[in-house]
Structure 1
């Protein structure tokens, strides 16, 4: 794979004992040293205009000023330092690079994956939250829609982070050109992402939430992707699919009660790769969460291995009754 990466993203320092540490990127890079076929690409940072395409301009300018003044606690969970503003711009720029590379035809062993931080999927249109200041996936989706070179009319964003991607949902909730899917742990921060949140106005029916019951493992996630997610995207017909790839749903992540295995990420990658191929859609990945350094690094590595030719191992067992019931509710909400 090609990994978008910049040392500038290490300069975002949320402080000691904060889980969203620069060591996340260092751990990934160290793990990928053992793999062949890994390439790293830097990218131009986003400017304020690109960030303001999905965020309120006054909010973006206030973040820049906040960081220039040395940063601090934006809220109890979301902290900035002087280096955060440049990291934000580079993180979003790397996400834009990933979609551009995908739209240029990079796939297979050249599949683009953006390794930026801070992450983005909790950042709403006019505020930061949940460690996130700029919504990298949303910025990248809008970037693709705004540039006529690749004739992109529709984008799908699939968020498999264990937390609901409330920011991405917020930004695109009333639009019909972006289909947002979130697979997340039911009841976990930030408390949004119920099945009946399906969009409004022109965007009604273009948001799909799959709140996974605590304890859900690989079979449940595969059933969601193979069932309602695939059906929705086949009907929507995106030109581009962006995966908001958080890895905190791993069974060994310290903040998750979801039971995905490392192999589960290979299986989801394989299913989404196949789906994108069937849709003739470009595919790219953007890093979100994941806070157990070893399992984060292993999970990113197995995504790479999947595109490098490794065949994932199918799981035993079927989704449990709670997952089946949730999937039926999703189908009913989108009738």
Structure 2
């Protein structure tokens, strides 16, 4: 894979005990040193005018001023310093690079993955929250639509619901948003009956699993609900909001996706993109166990380098089956 990376993203200093720390990127880079075929691209900062296509200009001005004045606690979880503004512009620029690189034909071993921070999928149109200031994947989707894409799909496999991405595109039929996330975790959104509004009804898919869902449950959601829905939507670009905090050893979630499971999900989305004739790109979100984050992300890379991940032997759980049946009632999949 080709990885977008900027050193300035390390300057976003959240403090010594914050889970979203610069050590996340350092751990990824150390792990990738052991793998062949890794290329790094230092993409340009995002254009602020593009950012204000998905975020309110008043909010972006407020965020910039907040950083210029030294930052602090935006809320209980979301921390900024003076350098956070530059890091956020770089992270969003890396996400735009991933979208544009994919649309330009970079695939296979050249598939783009944006390694930026702060992450983005909780940032709503007019506010920061959940460690996030600029919604990187939303800005990337907007950039693709302003290029030559007519429709973009976003699949968010972070353990937390990407409320910001959903909120930004909830009434827009040109973006399909899908998420698999843990029930009871922050921010508490993402119910199965949240399917979009107006002309965008049916372009929002939420798989809200109870704690303990494992790799087999995740793959069933992809196979039975997400893949058919995205094939029907027929996007030009598929972007993955790639958080790795549903891992069975992540410190802040209770899901049970294995390292091998992230490889299996990667294989699924690669096959799905091929079936749709869609380009494919990845944007980093969460993942807070340094070893599990690094191992899972390198497994994603290995899939594009020829590795065939093992399929789980487990059956789909009864709790997961109940969710999938509820989604079938919403028109996603079939019983």
Shorter-chain TM-score bucket reads over 0.9
Kindly indicate whether the alpha-carbon contact (under 8 Å) linking 1:119 and 1:136 is maintained by their aligned counterparts in 2. Answer: yes
Q: Deviations over 1:45-65 (max 9, x none)?
A: 012201101000100111011
* Partner Cα separation in structure 1 for residue 263 and residue 242 of structure 2: 12
List aligned pairs for 1:134-149, cutoff 5 A: 134-147=134-147
2:111 match: 111
1:84 match: 84
* Structure 2: gaps spanning 5 or more residues: none
Across the aligned residues of Structure 1 and Structure 2, the Cα RMSD in angstroms comes to: 0.7
1:185 match: 182
* Partner Cα separation in structure 2 for residue 53 and residue 202 of structure 1: 20
Q: Secondary structure at the match of 1:314?
A: coil
1:297 match: 294
2:311 match: 314
* Partner Cα separation in structure 2 for residue 31 and residue 212 of structure 1: 30
Q: Secondary structure at the match of 1:162?
A: coil
Query: Are residue 266 (structure 1) and residue 259 (structure 2) matched?
Result: no
List aligned pairs for 1:198-217, cutoff 5 A: 198-217=195-214
Q: Secondary structure at the match of 1:134?
A: coil
Task: Give the CA deviation at 1:334.
Answer: 2.5
Task: Give the CA deviation at 1:193.
Answer: 0.4
Task: Give the CA deviation at 1:237.
Answer: 0.5
* Partner Cα separation in structure 1 for residue 129 and residue 2 of structure 2: 29
* Partner Cα separation in structure 2 for residue 187 and residue 176 of structure 1: 28
Normalising by structure 1, we get a TM-score of 0.98
2:329 match: 332
1:25 match: 25
* Structure 1: gaps spanning 5 or more residues: none
2:167 to 170, 176, 185: 170
Q: Deviations over 1:245-294 (max 9, x none)?
A: 00000000001110000000000000000000010000000000000000
Kindly indicate whether the alpha-carbon contact (under 8 Å) linking 1:14 and 1:79 is maintained by their aligned counterparts in 2. Answer: yes
Kindly indicate whether the alpha-carbon contact (under 8 Å) linking 1:228 and 1:327 is maintained by their aligned counterparts in 2. Answer: yes
2:72 match: 72
Q: Secondary structure at the match of 1:121?
A: coil
* Partner Cα separation in structure 2 for residue 225 and residue 264 of structure 1: 12
Task: Give the CA deviation at 1:213.
Answer: 1.5
Kindly indicate whether the alpha-carbon contact (under 8 Å) linking 1:121 and 1:136 is maintained by their aligned counterparts in 2. Answer: yes
* Partner Cα separation in structure 1 for residue 105 and residue 9 of structure 2: 26
Query: Are residue 38 (structure 1) and residue 38 (structure 2) matched?
Result: yes
* Partner Cα separation in structure 2 for residue 52 and residue 292 of structure 1: 33
Task: Give the CA deviation at 1:166.
Answer: 0.2
Task: Give the CA deviation at 1:320.
Answer: 0.6
Q: Secondary structure at the match of 1:181?
A: strand
Kindly indicate whether the alpha-carbon contact (under 8 Å) linking 1:198 and 1:334 is maintained by their aligned counterparts in 2. Answer: no
* Partner Cα separation in structure 2 for residue 300 and residue 327 of structure 1: 27
Kindly indicate whether the alpha-carbon contact (under 8 Å) linking 1:95 and 1:137 is maintained by their aligned counterparts in 2. Answer: yes
1:284 to 281, 287, 299: 281
* Partner Cα separation in structure 2 for residue 50 and residue 69 of structure 1: 24
* Partner Cα separation in structure 2 for residue 226 and residue 10 of structure 1: 37
2:272 to 272, 275, 289: 275
2:126 match: 126
Normalising by structure 2, we get a TM-score of 0.98
Kindly indicate whether the alpha-carbon contact (under 8 Å) linking 1:216 and 1:259 is maintained by their aligned counterparts in 2. Answer: yes
* Partner Cα separation in structure 2 for residue 76 and residue 325 of structure 1: 34
* Partner Cα separation in structure 2 for residue 104 and residue 221 of structure 1: 30
